[in-house]
Structure 1
Amino acid sequence: MDDLHSEHQRILRRHQREKKELQAQIQSLKNSVPKTDKKKRKQLLQDVARMEAEMAQRHRQELEKFEDERSFESVIEDLAKMDLENQPPRSHKAQRKRERMEALERGHQGSNFQAEMEHLAGFRREEEEKVAAILGVRGLEMKQIPADGHCMYRAIQDQLVFSTSVEMLRSRAASYMQQHVDEFLPFFGNSETETGDSFGYDDFMSYCDNIVHTTVWGGQLELRALSHVLKTPIEVIQADSPTLVIGEEYTKKPIILVYLHYACTLGEHYNSVRPVQAEAAGGAAAPPRLQ
């Protein structure tokens, strides 16, 4: 189990490094294309969305694979315990030795697990401090959103002036993606399954169905779809990467989300933001409405 905890941390750290490198690459690409060149700018936005979608899909698959392997390890341990229970009794001396070894191992695993949790808590505090500094410059603070698989949608819902449900946001995102398959499928379909086969149209449509009917996490594809639905930019603030802006073609006041790597057990989580002095905030531009 100690090895699995360490591997989990290595995966999260690698994901964070890869995302940071990708954002630096994206920023470099943006700087190289003049804002006045609308044709190249549009192509750039499509390329950026594809790269982000590919990475998000790959990272999600790696975490899901890790969780499957961890579950398998637990089953193996349970079977091993059953085998020990079914073995004939050993001598008193051998039994006491085995029990001492098991107690030492449990203590070792417990201390390592505690160390990993403290290590993760350190990452979490550092990340939150960096985000708080970024938000503070803009007169904002982070607003906690429940980590229930709907966090991205709840964070967006929190910043809308009209009443809508998470289910409605999921439905509108999935519907937009299904109605604009040509826009989203290339980004989704460049990933590969574990068998080496490319994802296709049926896989994409199934994914859209899951957006509506399950608590599957929201990511770059869904953010882009909701940006189009709301006709507003969506900014995603991260601790160690430039702010990601989705829907730059729109001019309304943006929805601002915070993306955290270490907020939850699996690492990834979205929070909302609010003015530091919410009572004093007035005269703000009206947030977007569903079209």
Structure 2
Amino acid sequence: MDELSSLESKHRKEKKELQAQLQALKKAAKNDKTKKKELAAEISKLETEMDARHKQELESIQKDTEEVTDSVINIENEVAKVKISKAQKRRDKKSLQEKEREEQIKQQEQENLHGPRNMELQEISVKLKERGLEIFLIPSDGDCLYKAIAHQMLVTKRKEVSVEELRKNVSDYIRAHKDDFIPFMSNPDTFEMLTDDEFEEYCNKIENTKVWGGQLEIRALSNLLKCPISVLQASGPNSIDQGTEFEGTPLIITYHRHMYRLGEHYNSTVGSSKSVAED
């Protein structure tokens, strides 16, 4: 299969996957008018971004082919018809693709300057600045909540904990306090309270997969670590606090809805370089 056919096949697969994801999101927002309105905008954004990216990738392949062909002809003329090795061709093509990718990134950064991602970051940064803090970036890999909390444990000079340890402890804590958590858990398809089997599957996923953590997991983390946790976000109150009954410096993390295309994200925080210099 040539590169163009492979790309077209990849695009068809991505469209199917996006449609499946959008259907799930629509079901989740079925009875929530506010969420439906937000979801409509998000769906339009996701579809537009995918269409633009697919168009760009198709144009990139066509452009790569033309540029590599021109490059080969020019080199053959200049070096008296010396054949370029296959390895050299691959290197030339890779170099061209990297340059194009850099240009695309620069262009995208300009387009996003006033987009929801940047606006959200600016709002959160203002709230952090009031506390003498700045964002500490955490990778977007499903473990972001647990990695942010593990980082905060070090920042606040508490004990060192691993992501695996946190996931297991959260899973065990929710199991042990089932009656406190299950009223807030529902099946995303039926909107009914989780059955015992579904509850156990939920806990297993926390421990054994990279499933994303949310408000329930933050509550469990605060209780099992016995420390307050503050979550800063762009909109709404300055922070959402858990474990206010516990003493000590709170673990401060940030919540982002628009930082990455398909999902929410958590980052950690550190003292801002400016406030450290002033001290």
Which residue does the alignment assign to 2:168?
171
Deviation per CA, 1:161-188: give whole Å up to 9, x if none. Answer: 3322100000111110111111111111
User: Percent identity, aligned pairs only?
Assistant: 40
CA distance in 2, matches of 1:215, 1:121: 31
CA distance in 1, matches of 2:268, 2:199: 28
Q: Quote the offset at 1:193 in angstroms.
A: 4.5
Structure showing greater Rg: 2
Are 1:132 and 2:125 matched, yes or no? yes
Segments of 5+ residues of structure 1 without an aligned counterpart are: 22-54, 71-113, 282-291
Deviation per CA, 1:185-243: give whole Å up to 9, x if none. Answer: 1111xx24424654222211110010011100000111011100111111000001111
With the length of structure 1 as denominator, give the TM-score of the two structures.
0.55
Give the residue type in structure 2 aligned to 1:224.
R
* 245 and 121 in structure 1: CA distance in 2 versus 1, 3 angstrom threshold: same
Task: Pick from 215, 222, 230 the counterpart of residue 227 of structure 1.
Answer: 222
Give the residue type in structure 2 aligned to 1:137.
E
RMSD of aligned residue pairs (Cα, Å): 3.6
CA distance in 1, matches of 2:263, 2:190: 27
Give the residue type in structure 1 aligned to 2:205.
N
Segments of 5+ residues of structure 2 without an aligned counterpart are: 1-14, 48-106
With the length of structure 2 as denominator, give the TM-score of the two structures.
0.57
Give the residue type in structure 2 aligned to 1:229.
L
Q: How does 1:99-248 map to 2 (within 5 A)?
A: 118=111, 122-161=115-154, 162-188=159-185, 191-195=186-190, 197-242=192-237, 243-248=239-244
CA distance in 2, matches of 1:251, 1:275: 20
Counterpart of 1:251 in 2: which secondary structure? Answer: coil
CA distance in 2, matches of 1:209, 1:174: 7
Give the residue type in structure 1 aligned to 2:129.
G
Deviation per CA, 1:70-114: give whole Å up to 9, x if none. Answer: 9xxxxxxxxxxxxxxxxxxxxxxxxxxxxxxxxxxxxxxxxxxx9
Task: Pick from 252, 255, 259 the counterpart of residue 256 of structure 1.
Answer: 252
CA contact (8 A) 2:145 2:212 kept: yes
CA distance in 2, matches of 1:210, 1:120: 37
Aligned length: 182
* 279 and 158 in structure 1: CA distance in 2 versus 1, 3 angstrom threshold: farther
Counterpart of 1:159 in 2: which secondary structure? Answer: helix
* 268 and 195 in structure 1: CA distance in 2 versus 1, 3 angstrom threshold: closer
Higher relative contact order (CA 8 A, sep 6+): 1
Counterpart of 1:268 in 2: which secondary structure? Answer: strand
CA distance in 2, matches of 1:211, 1:268: 16
CA contact (8 A) 2:182 2:193 kept: no
Which residue does the alignment assign to 1:111?
none
CA distance in 1, matches of 2:120, 2:228: 24
